Amino acid sequence: MSKLHYQNEKLFCEETEIKNLTEKYGTPLYVYSKNMIKNKFKTTDEAFSSVDHTICFAMKANSNMEILKLMASMGAGGDVVSGGELYLALKAGIPANKIVYASVGKTDEEIKFGIESGILAFNVESEPELEVVNQIALQMGKKAPVAIRINPNIDVHGHPYISTGKSINKFGIDIDFAFDVFLKAHKMEGINIVGVHCHIGSQILDTEYFAASAKKLFDFVTRLTEAGIEVEHIDIGGGLGVHYPDVIPDYAEEQKGVPPPSELSKKVLEILKPLNKEIIFEPGRSIIGEAAALITKVLYVKRSRDTKFIVVDAGMNDLIRPCLYEAYHQIVPLNKIEGELEKADVVGPICETGDFLAKGRMLPDVKRGDYLAVMTTGAYGYSLACNYNSRPRAAEVWINGENDELIREREKVEDWV
């Protein structure tokens, strides 16, 4: 089995009992299913098999070196958004010619690094950036590969902090002005136009939004071709969502369908395939999100007049999504607990009122020393972690059947001084 599941009333990852991992590695602890990661990537890659394509793993979701090496071994490219991510991608063995580089704020040094490395494309997000890339490329005596990111003004109706495809968002160039920018880029001696890029948001559960984006891309690329500008690839971005509430059915509070990659690819390729261009897809969350849980230990259970608090050793420094996005993560005990559920807030040790993993959640009667699993934390979990309150970041382990392997050591305060 590749998912996290209950077996004999105990929570397992693949064929490994998670409670045993807490004794070996301590908590907080991120636990990944290696086989689930592999299966998710394979399913996504196969969904686009009818066309020339590259699956560029969105490293912002998770940049653990062992996970990146696994992606590279399966043929993945990389979607990077910083010089640091580009460095890690190359060190992990991801070929430079499979790396696309987004970000609205690339520094001169990062642009030079990308050109020197021979990346597939800079996803350029503004006209001023285009001019800087051109200038740096000319200074280096090279041409920079560029895919201009268009903003299609599509509202995916998700959390505003992860919406990227509306005209009010900082990302990309408004589709009404992007064509003129392409014309200017076409005349720049330091620019080689290789593609068109678009990314409309994250945690998208309705593939019609991807279809709407694809239609705009089709029309835009057709217009470019008519103007004598041929691109090599169309980058449709990422953003496919995952299950959050109903990972473990025993404690499910809500059922919400998540479309498979094949549904997304079918709708997108129906529109874009006639253009005969390479398709680039940038999944992150949909590859890694469901493959991990954050394991945390119950320190105290306290009550105020109106609220029951379950105080655990993982906080917003380990998983900031609930605080930052009001994100929902299912929380379950490592050992099943019978009896009635009671409403409680699950809070961490950080000195902030906003330090919570769940609010008003119906949970079993846990005690000090029990362990909880915060589900679906493989994406934007560790990658958003920090050292607030001078707390070391968690360890990371992945499971392959009955075998566990430490893929990132727990930080130590002593390492900081």
Same-domain check for residues 103 and 220: yes
List the CATH number of the domain containing 10. 2.40.37.10
- Does pTM surpass 0.75? yes
Same-domain check for residues 274 and 336: no
Task: Please answer whether residues 51 and 14 qualify as being in contact, where contact means their C-beta atoms are separated by less than 8 angstroms.
Answer: no
β-strands 16-17, 144-151: how paired?
unpaired
**Is 341 inside a domain boundary?**
yes
* pLDDT given at position 46: 98
List the CATH number of the domain containing 59. 3.20.20.10
**Is 297 inside a domain boundary?**
yes
Sign of torsion, CA 83 86 88 91?
Answer: negative
Same-domain check for residues 21 and 52: no
Same-domain check for residues 74 and 214: yes
Block residue for tokens 């590859």: 287
* pLDDT given at position 202: 83
Same-domain check for residues 294 and 412: yes
Q: How far apart are CA 112 and CA 114, in angstroms?
A: 5
Same-domain check for residues 152 and 84: yes
Q: How far apart are CA 37 and CA 32, in angstroms?
A: 8
Last residue of a domain, one of 283, 317, 340: 283
Q: How far apart are CA 86 and CA 79, in angstroms?
A: 9
- State the residue range of the domain holding 18: 4-31+290-416
* 249 phi and psi angles, rounded to 5 deg: -55, -30
| Per-residue buried b or exposed e for 20-30, using 16+ beta carbons within 10 Å of the residue's own CB | ebbeebebbbb
Active-site residue, from 13, 323, 351, 386: 351
351 is catalytic: yes
Reading the block at residue 302, the tokens are 């306290």
Last residue of a domain, one of 248, 283, 318: 283
Same-domain check for residues 187 and 165: yes
Last residue of a domain, one of 225, 249, 283: 283
Task: Please answer whether residues 241 and 286 qualify as being in contact, where contact means their C-beta atoms are separated by less than 8 angstroms.
Answer: yes
| Gyration radius from the chain CA atoms | 22
Length of the chain: 417
pLDDT in single tens digits along all 417 residues of the chain? 448 899 999 999 999 999 999 999 999 999 999 999 999 999 999 999 999 999 999 999 999 999 999 999 999 999 999 999 999 999 999 999 999 999 999 999 999 999 999 999 999 999 999 999 999 999 999 999 999 999 988 866 544 444 444 445 666 899 999 999 999 999 999 999 999 999 988 888 889 999 999 999 999 999 999 999 999 999 999 989 998 876 666 555 544 578 899 999 999 999 999 999 999 999 999 999 999 999 999 999 999 989 999 999 999 999 999 999 899 999 999 999 989 999 999 999 999 999 999 999 999 999 999 999 999 999 999 999 999 999 999 999 999 999 999 999 999 999 999
